[in-house]
Chains A and B, each alone.
Chain A
Amino acid sequence: MARTDRYEHHDYYGIDELLSDDHKLAREAVQAWVKKEVSPIIEDYSNRSECPHHLFKGLAEIGAFGPSLPVEYGGGGMDEIAYGVIMQELERGDSGVRSMASVQGSLVMYPIYRFGSEEQKRKYLPKLGSGEYIGCFGLTEPDHGSNPNGMITNIKEDGDSYILNGAKMWITNSPVADVAVVWAKDEEGIVRGVIVEKGMPGFSAPEIHGKWSLRASITGELVFEDVRVPKENILPNVAGLKGPLSCLSKARYGIAWGAIGAALDCYDSALRYSKERIQFGKPIGQFQLTQKKLAEMITEITKAQLLAWRLGTLANKGEASPAQISMAKRNNVHMALEIAREARQIHGGMGITNEYPCMRHMMNLETVLTYEGTHDIHLLITGLDVTGLNAFG
Chain B
Amino acid sequence: MKQLVCISKTPETTAKINFKDGNTAFDESGVQFIMNPYDEWYALVRAIELKESLGGTVTVINVGPASNDVVIRKALAIGADEGIRVDAEPKSALYVAKQIAANAEGFDLVYCGKETIDYNGSEVGAMVAEYLDQPFVSFATKLEVEGNSATVTRDIEGGSEISKIDTPFVLSAAKGMAEQRIPNMRGIMMAKKKPLNVVEPVGFDDKVVVSSFTLPDAKTECKMIDPENMDELVRLLQEEAKVL
Contacts and interface: CB of A to CB of B under 8 A. Distances in A.
A33 B12 CA distance: 17
Given A21-B70, A21-B73, A25-B74, A9 B32 contact: yes
A5 B65 CA distance: 32
B69 interface: yes
Sort chain A's interface into a size bin. Answer: 20 to 34
A225 interface: no
Given A33-B182, A62-B185, A28 B34 contact: yes
Nearest to A25: B188
B14 A22 contact: no
Contacts of B189: 22, 71, 76-78
A8 interface: yes
A263 to B, nearest CB: 19
A306 interface: no
B101 to A, nearest CB: 28
Contacts of B182: 29, 32-33, 36, 62
Contacts of A86: 185
B55 interface: no
Contact of B185 (A9, A32, A36, A76): A76
Contacts of B12: 8
Contacts of A67: 185
A339 interface: no
Contacts of B18: none
B176 interface: no
Contacts of A33: 182
A86 B184 CA distance: 11
Interface string A22-57: 101110110011001000000000000000000000
A86 B185 CA distance: 9
B224 A29 contact: no
A77 B191 CA distance: 13
A158 interface: no
Contact of B183 (A21, A25, A36, A64): A25
A61 interface: yes
B180 interface: yes
Interface string B115-152: 00000000000000000000000000000000000000
B14 A25 contact: no
A36 B182 CA distance: 10
A22 B184 CA distance: 11
B186 interface: yes
A86 B188 CA distance: 13
A278 interface: yes
A127 to B, nearest CB: 16
B20 interface: no
A63 interface: yes
Nearest to B29: A14
Contacts of B192: 22
Nearest to A24: B70
A73 to B, nearest CB: 13
Nearest to B77: A25
A107 B25 CA distance: 51
Interface in A258-304: 278
Contacts of A26: 185, 188
A369 interface: no
Nearest to B34: A28
Interface string B155-188: 0000000000000000000000000101111101
A9 B30 CA distance: 12
A82 interface: yes
A71 B186 contact: yes
A106 to B, nearest CB: 15
B183 to A, nearest CB: 5
A25 B184 contact: no
Contact of B188 (A8, A22, A36, A61): A22
A154 B189 CA distance: 42
Contacts of B184: 29, 61-63
A91 B183 CA distance: 19
Nearest to B189: A77
A278 B188 CA distance: 43
B41 to A, nearest CB: 11
A82 B185 contact: yes
Contacts of B185: 26, 29, 62-64, 67, 76, 78, 82, 86
Contacts of A21: 69-70, 73
A303 to B, nearest CB: 20
A332 to B, nearest CB: 23
A163 to B, nearest CB: 40
A29 B74 CA distance: 9
Interface in B42-83: 69-70, 73-74, 77
Interface in A59-82: 61-64, 67, 71, 76-78, 82
Given A24-B70, A29-B182, A62-B185, 8 more contacts: A22-B192, A29-B188, A62-B182, A62-B184, A63-B186, A63-B188, A76-B185, A78-B189
24 contacts: A8-B14, A9-B32, A22-B188, A22-B192, A24-B70, A25-B70, A25-B188, A25-B191, A28-B34, A28-B74, A29-B185, A32-B182, A36-B180, A36-B182, A61-B184, A62-B182, A63-B184, A63-B185, A76-B185, A76-B186, A76-B189, A77-B186, A78-B185, A78-B189
Top 6 nearest A-B pairs (CB, nearest first) are: A63-B185, A76-B185, A63-B184, A21-B70, A32-B182, A25-B188
